[in-house]
Structure 1
Amino acid sequence: MMLRLSGVTVRFGDRTALDAVDLTVEDHETVCLLGPSGSGKSTLLRVVAGLQPADAGRVSLSGRDQADVPTHRRGLGLMFQDHQLFPQQDVAGNIAFGLRTGVRSGGGAGARPGAGRLSKAERAERVSELLELVGLPGAQERAVGSLSGGEQQRVALARALAPTPRLLMLDEPLGQLDRGLRERLTVELRQLFRRLGTTVLAVTHDQGEAFALADRVVVMRAGRVAQTGTPREVWQRPASSFVARFLGFENIVPATVRERGADTPWGRVQVPKGTPSGRCELLVRPAGVRLTPPEEGLKCTVTGITFRGGASAMVSVLLQPVAGPPLTAESPLSRAPDLDETVGVTFTGHEVVVLPNAAEPA
């Protein structure tokens, strides 16, 4: 186990930023902390780094309690959203900074900060190697100010990787980049971490970035862990209406389950076999909202159409039923209805998720 948090609590006056959080990160695993602003993601990262003391709980790295270990002795690599590069130094100088204060290259998870210093020639060789890794070969002498945003992110990553940290921590690493570049770099990061066997704890509010990068996703809310699981598990089976809505699902209504169906504001909806009777909340994925002729289902008016792009050329269709809250459906562009058209809707049972009807913190 590379990292273990046990009951970690942080308070700022009357506000609890982290509330008895338990978390583990295995060796060579990439874990993404996902959640809205104020959910405690960055505070958790700062606690692991030793930049924020915990009011209660324990942080262990490789089985050792870090309570009395300063940041520079924890063997961590840190990369932030704003790069924090040194403008007065060239690319090589920025990357070599971590080598001058960190561990000898190749130290890996068992290395100790300050365990050895590299010679000037060794530093130059390591800088060259890192620039190759992040896709900027030969950029040693370039000025930081001449780099694009994506190039600066690559240099910041190289600097964080320079001392071969046992745990690499990323705080919104791609947040300032445009979506296209962010998506490309996310794929590259995933491939790089797998190739190097790097252990990563990353913070993001972008679900697409988290799901593309992570082996495991931890969704946070109000200082607590709302759900943890693989990206597929979290996407297919959100643990609550909060998680579902944070992931972008809006087709959520209160329901009462009886036998194989549920009574909802949209009428009777089929639920998965074995669902216990009683009150709950029901999520119907947009892919499970089937558009039909008006006479064949719940009558709805098309109130909006949003093109989603991509090779599949899918659109999101916003619908206002004659009864109940709005619905969102997915449709191929070639079969999409027109704005203000009247359509029918039926529901596909395997796209229905039953959510617990439990009170959640604000």
Structure 2
Amino acid sequence: MNDLQVNLGSRSYPVYFDSDHFEKIPELIAANFNSKVFLITDTNVEKLYRTSVTAILKKVHCEHDWIIVPAGERYKGLITTADVVGELLKKGAHRQSSLIALGGGMVGDLAGFVAATYMRGISYAHIPTTLLAMVDSSVGGKVAVNHPLAKNVIGAFYQPKFVFGDSRFLDTLSKREMVCGLAEIIKYGLIAELSFFEWLETNWEKILTNDVKSVRQAVYTSCLIKTRIVEKDEFESGPRMILNFGHTVGHALENLSGYETIKHGEAVLYGMIAASYYSMKMNFLKQEDYIRIERILTAIIKNHEEKAVADFIKKTSWKDLLGKMLSDKKSTGSMKLIVLKGIGRAEVHAVTDQSKVADAFEHLKVLS
């Protein structure tokens, strides 16, 4: 079992990634929690895994209960949060109880936020079931829910007790969901490690076909890069901000679509192209490096062509996008972008000429 340790003093925790080892779940629960656990999952994951996970937990007499929420990012808000809290109260959850998020990023964000706030904080763990969650939201302790006007603006920093990912979960993912995870994986190469990006240039198709060896390497390397960044800046006051590469445009696109037309990973793909194009036009990034970046990102987009997404990009106005970008929680009243100074080198940049960002967005329409 591959594992990493996120070293944050008293808030440190392990991150595991394995293949076909569901039986590890009760061991991890027993080692970290000493009271009843409540598994939070969505309707999609429930259909696929509730029976098998319940059987494993019953076999070792683990006291547990389930809370099921609707599937989809548009349900990651205060209404669903209140519903989950209500279920916890009805089922007798107390301060020694624990939560387990079994699902993708939406479930992890929601369950983590509930754990951070229920009775002023209870323990939780994350068992991510999507590639995106395995490399992104499950590591780092950022938990949040959405407001109708902006994504992830109601939240906290709250670390889990452990993270456990198993490649078996990926067997049931659609290609579209695998693409979403691949987007975040490529992000790590672009912002922090040239050699990883070079490996992805020749191996990204293997990841999309769920080649176990390639996926294990991609997940491990992504989590290692993120862990190193989080350990330096747990509360996102400086270096950690580079993890938001592609997310300023990406989050704005998601919000404008009502969290339906375009998925998070797809939005980040387009956001990374826009940020890379802007970096090139500002002479931060060499043209030949931009060409490499655009080549791999557009190849991935075309590999799973979603006409509705392309149509949405073309129909979105710069004025609407700008409004959402300026309301982003990272903007502090002015626009900031994570830019590339080379493949593997990123930094925070204060935008002084918004027309250049507009040009980058218009370039996306040409590609769509």
Larger radius of gyration between Structure 1 and Structure 2: 1
Higher strand share: 1
TM-score, scaled relative to structure 1: 0.34
TM-score, scaled relative to structure 2: 0.34
Higher helix share: 2
